A and B are shown apart, each in its own frame.
Chain A
Amino acid sequence: MLPFLGRRLLQLIPTLFFVSVIIFGLQQLLPGDPALIMAGEDRDPEVIAQIRAQYRLDQPIPVQYVYWMKGVLSGDLGESMRIKKPVLDLVLEKLPVTAQLAGMAILIALVIGVGAGIVSAVYKDTWLDYGANIFALWGISTPNFWLGILLIFLFSVQLGWLPASGYVRPSEDLRASLASTIMPAFVLGNAIAAVLMRHTRGAMLQVLSSDYVRTARAKGLLERSVVLKHAMRNALTPVITLGALELGTLLSGAVLTEQIFTVPGFGKLIVDAVFNRDYAVVQGVVLVTATAYITLNLLADIAYMLANPRLRS
């Protein structure tokens, strides 16, 4: 177990290095010159040269990369050229919002998706199974923006139960915070729930017809413990991995959903940064989300191992 962990942690170093190189390299491929954008209407050559010097845009790209990497390693992600704020502050400001949204979404997805998957496998070929499958098909094929607008129309406009937009921090008012995020979280979670449901159903059906489930039944165990103890533990290991990857995707921000509900998360931050050639912000945000994604992947592997004794030894 420990050697495995050590090996996996060591593997993180080259992975993150390549990720940083790619992030930095792709950035250079974006058309447009940040110095020109910052110089404004006049495009005074002196101002442009000064900006280039200030942000080291006049240096060769590898040199720029080294400067950037030096900063990153000392906790400095650079400064936003547009809003003149440290990128780290921007990230720390938006990260909790995105994390809260992603956490709630994945929770909703797991409860609905895994629950529906188990029910539809246990009650295969009954109306419960058909219902769950129709729900999954609906979840996969419903566009987020449309579902979002529909929810706003129903719960905000018609019923007036939830705020249509905006965001409240949980530290300010927990109830208001949940109310402001439940709809976008549901929109995000719904699509993932559908995927998780299909996977859970497939895995459960396979496990339920396995020999050891027959053994569990031959022992006279209650159907509840056959399903929840003997079948679920083995069926859910692939679902853990899938859930972790989905959570990683959620953490990189949900542009459309954040836009519809005007939630100030990563999605909006990165889109604004790309449009304004705000290199430092794009690099910083992508680096943070990539690191989160890789870390979640590692956590999924560890969880997978804890759930599967054959991998432990």
Chain B
Amino acid sequence: MTEPLLAVDDLRVAFAGDDGRTTLAVDGVGFALQRGRTLGIVGESGCGKSVTSLSIMGLLPKQSARVSGSVMFEGTDLLRAADRTLRDLRGDRLAMIFQEPMTSLNPSYTVGDQIAEAVIRHRGASPREARAHAIEMLRHVRIPSPEQRVDDYPHHLSGGMRQRAMIAMALACDPQLLIADEPTTALDVTIQAQILDLMRRLRAETGTAIILITHDLGVVAELCDDIVVMYAGQVVERAPVAALFAQPQHPYTVGLLGSIPRLDQRRDRLAAIDGTVPNMTAPPPGCRFARRCPFADERCRREAPPPVEVAAGHMSRCWRAPLEHLVQ
């Protein structure tokens, strides 16, 4: 296998609270991403998926976040890189789009200005060249009449258009890796489909590797090659998309899949996972999912399960994996 574009190893992020307690947001996360591939990171709110992506970008607040482990990107360890190196990479080789297109654009500058800015910063373009490039990027993300839209302020654009403008901004310098943090969550369903479609086409055109962070398994199934499922700061399962959907090997993933509404099966109620996520200022001993897991036994509650390779390229952090024999 070739050298991965991005290799995250044993990433840990702890936040120091005002009351002196620390919260472990990310605990030993590891995954790798090959060039041009798309990785989905799935999990519920607070599982550490956004914190993982922000620590890759180096955007966590330095005063409160303690980050350890390693994040190798094209031969550079992003966690140990100087601020200057990170700033040079961000927006150029590494780009990110966020959940809220409404608040992620600066209301005081035109979208053209905000796209051009990155081009001027990283490509040393003149303002005129950068503006031309901004128009080109708006056309690229299928914004109609980009020559006029380039001078629009964010409040002139609809949510979907703003997310397109964000994508144009992120892709302006042709990055190797695009991190999309819940890019469709704040949008209407029809607009969601358009944005996903756009991302799929752009990926085919540019070959950019994508990390897609979402809580929506449907989105993952449409767009991703591989999936990482996170729970309470840990990766609980990692597999190629087809394998994960066909044979989930962690009870949490099984629960997530069960909670997707389906048209081909009649059910009165959607399956839900009972209970709530553990308090991460004092994580429980043993498996973090044990209290909500229908299969948990004594050992699950006592000892933390190590990651196990249940099949080639399929990892699960469960004492009871493979799960097939349990559901018979």
Q: Which residues of A contact B (CB under 8 A)?
A: 125, 210-212, 214-222, 225, 230, 233-234, 307-310, 313
A211-B118 contact in complex given A220-B88, A220-B89, C-beta closer than 8 Å: no
Contact A218 B108 (CB under 8 A): no
Stretch from B96-104, B195-203, B230-238, B272-280 that touches the partner: B96-104
Contacts of B92 in A (CB 8 A): 220
Q: Which residues of B contact A (CB under 8 A)?
A: 57, 59, 63, 86-92, 95-96, 98, 100, 103-109, 114, 117-118, 121-122, 153, 155-156, 166, 169-170
Contact A217 B118 (CB under 8 A): no
Contact A221 B121 (CB under 8 A): yes
Contacts of A310 in B (CB 8 A): 107, 153, 155
Contact A220 B100 (CB under 8 A): no
**Contact sample, A vs B, 25 pairs, CB 8 Å cutoff:** A210-B103, A212-B105, A212-B106, A212-B107, A215-B114, A215-B166, A217-B59, A218-B59, A218-B170, A219-B169, A220-B88, A220-B90, A220-B122, A221-B87, A221-B117, A221-B118, A221-B121, A230-B106, A233-B106, A234-B106, A307-B108, A309-B107, A309-B108, A309-B155, A313-B153
Complex CA distance for A221 and B88, rounded to whole angstroms: 8
Contact A234 B107 (CB under 8 A): yes
Out of A214, A220, A307, name the residue touching B104 (CB < 8 Å).
A214
A216-B106 contact in complex given A211-B98, A310-B153, C-beta closer than 8 Å: yes
Complex CA distance for A214 and B57, rounded to whole angstroms: 11
Complex CA distance for A225 and B98, rounded to whole angstroms: 20
Contacts of B108 in A (CB 8 A): 233-234, 307-309
Out of A218, A307, A308, name the residue touching B96 (CB < 8 Å).
A218
Complex CA distance for A234 and B155, rounded to whole angstroms: 14
A214-B98 contact in complex given A219-B117, A220-B118, A310-B155, C-beta closer than 8 Å: yes
A222-B87 contact in complex given A211-B98, A309-B153, C-beta closer than 8 Å: yes
- Given A219-B118, A220-B86, 17 more A-B residue pairs with CB atoms under 8 Å apart are A211-B104, A212-B105, A214-B98, A218-B91, A218-B96, A220-B88, A220-B89, A220-B118, A221-B87, A221-B118, A222-B121, A230-B106, A233-B108, A234-B107, A308-B108, A310-B153, A310-B155
